[in-house]
Structure 1
């Protein structure tokens, strides 16, 4: 059973609140009825955090009391002093809902600095299957100590997030970072493709990359070099990725996570507008980034272990949830994915177009190979 406490906290920066909350909730792990607990950050009905607790059955009264006391103490220690304007936030939520496929209603906005138990609605706006949610919860819980350690060391949140991304790229089981980085490339390519100012944003990222190229190159080399020091952040993320591998792979084998958007995402998108339906449908009636135009030519079933990629995709999405807890904004996350892409291509002296072209050439020799797209999920 999963119980959820909502902490409405409108301030845009939540690092202090999260740090206090992680410490205050630590005794939950010793409760006899608790399997695991984790945090989730979201914006629907107002900026907030969720405390999700998986128990063997209905939570014990002592467990409920501990959660409520910890949440109350954290809010008192780190109150929000920046309540959002409800009408403006609802307008913002409409845009966020379209971007993330989160349907309304988006109001009323909950009051700032309040605590309440969630008794209705989905516990996660992306994952619908309870088995996948439980795995996501365990992986998020396993990542919280990494965040806490980085915060205690005074690490820059964006650098910490980039180290995590680089570690995940190097940990990809089929080809390491030479293949693993493509998932991050796809992430920012699709984002910029739909923005009118996408080309200008990419130009600004390119200039920022050039300014710190030496630092990013050195950081990637450090991450790619095994470091057995227990406190090394890359080593911590490497351990997290290893812990994620088996349960994520099991979800993939069971068809609970896929290498492409599930059909229910397409149905949800159609319900939110014809334009979103086309965007998420993956058909030929929409435009694509230069990367995706070429990538769509490939037969994914000939690219190695599709279960491994499905598991990797799920793991990245779990990591991105942790990134929100670092006070790293979505735009910053996309920029970091761009920096990772450039650093990998500079170090490996290759480009995504070279990689995809080689795949297309190999595929041409296989008469049974056919492009996987449009999505089979449709």
Structure 2
């Protein structure tokens, strides 16, 4: 009896509920533990009855099946949901899977098809229950240990690298995209996150516009696992990096709270070695949260006086925020030797040395953006590419020094 698959049926049509119940009563390893008529009842009964599988209709009068699925999975990740819908539209299927559904069947399903889907989902629910129990036992046996997100075990945390400039138009996105590619390899995988939630362009820089965005992941970050995250992240096949794009419209930015953004970063730390965050020049709560969490801040300036002036202001602010100077890698982008303002002079003036100077190469940089092909893929031997390689090595070295130093942030201030 203990191995039976416990099923909750949720459908607003009485005839459908009864037909499914009658079908399942002939399965010796399946037990119908409850029946709900609305999405809200489905959420409530799932909490009270703790089934293995919920059969969920997609169209209901109060709350739709996809929203109900999302809430059930957020509260009880081990419960598996099989969506039933008269609409076999691919968009519905995609939304259902992003909400956490295990399977999607078109109404009316064939009896064998429905039973097979329930048994697959039931097996997964049993596995998830056992996995969760083992993790809880392991956690309780290890003093001071913390549980990972989405069932991920504790692992060495990836390093967060925030690319920021207090002056717009200095080339932060260009640096963030190409730096991600330079850092990424088989042993140290990199993910690029667009933290400019209103007007982020990371996806356009790699010609991947119009796919999944942070809106698909942030609201359900507490229920994520590596498999779901991999489905949502954009896979840039040419470089191997993964990308989490900004919302497609500016007004959608407010749907991502600073707390959710922080949790996204924490989750990615458990999967990737490097988490590169592109940011806006405006210090939004999201940007400030990313800066606060970062291991390294790549502070970008140019030879223009306004950019240098703003760099002085942000360095003062970071000092006020008790950000350790060692965490700041000061970089000069678009460095033109013909201009009298040198990296050395700027570093002396601001009392913070410039660690990397990326040469001015407008043709290569602009062509790369317009083609959607980062120059680290086909022009990495050019001076601008070598500049990014040098920056990547400086970032790696800085991270290694900070990690091997074994000093607390307070001791390094």
Quickly name the TM-score band, shorter chain normalised: under 0.3
What TM-score do the two structures reach when normalised by structure 2?
0.24
What TM-score do the two structures reach when normalised by structure 1?
0.26
Structure with the greater relative contact order (CA < 8 A, sep ≥ 6): 1 or 2? Answer: 1
Q: Which of structures 1 and 2 has the bigger CA Rg?
A: 2
Bigger fraction of residues in strand: 2
